[in-house]
């Protein structure tokens, strides 16, 4: 299945793209997708802490399965003052 991956802020800079389509096997999780993305875009590998993630515009956990998910967004944590 294909999911659309969206990158925001500094993650977009590290990946070098704002979005991309990624083929993932059935049963994949957000964490498995992130592992594939760090293989494709090595600059993502040392990003800490882990980014926030949303599946189909709803915040999700790293264990969330991607079956039926069309869009996954990765957002860096924000800080403010």
Give pLDDT tens digits along the chain (81 positions).
999 999 999 999 999 999 999 999 999 999 999 999 999 999 999 998 899 999 999 999 999 999 999 999 999 987 665
DSSP string, 62-75: TT-B-TT--EEEEE
The domain ranges of the chain are 2-75
Whole-structure pTM value: 0.93
Superfamily covering domain 2-75: Beta-grasp domain (3.10.20.30)
Instruction: Name the token pair of 59.
Output: 């915040």
User: What element of type H or E holds 2?
Assistant: strand 2-7
């Amino acid at each position: 299945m294909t999911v659309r991956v969206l990158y925001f802020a500094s993650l977009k800079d590290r990946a070098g793209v704002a979005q991309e389509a990624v083929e993932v096997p059935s049963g994949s999780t957000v964490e498995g997708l992130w592992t594939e993305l760090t293989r494709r875009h090595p600059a993502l590998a040392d990003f800490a802490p882990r980014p926030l993630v949303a599946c189909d515009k709803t915040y999700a956990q790293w264990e969330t399965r991607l079956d039926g998910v069309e869009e996954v967004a990765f957002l860096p944590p924000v800080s403010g003052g």
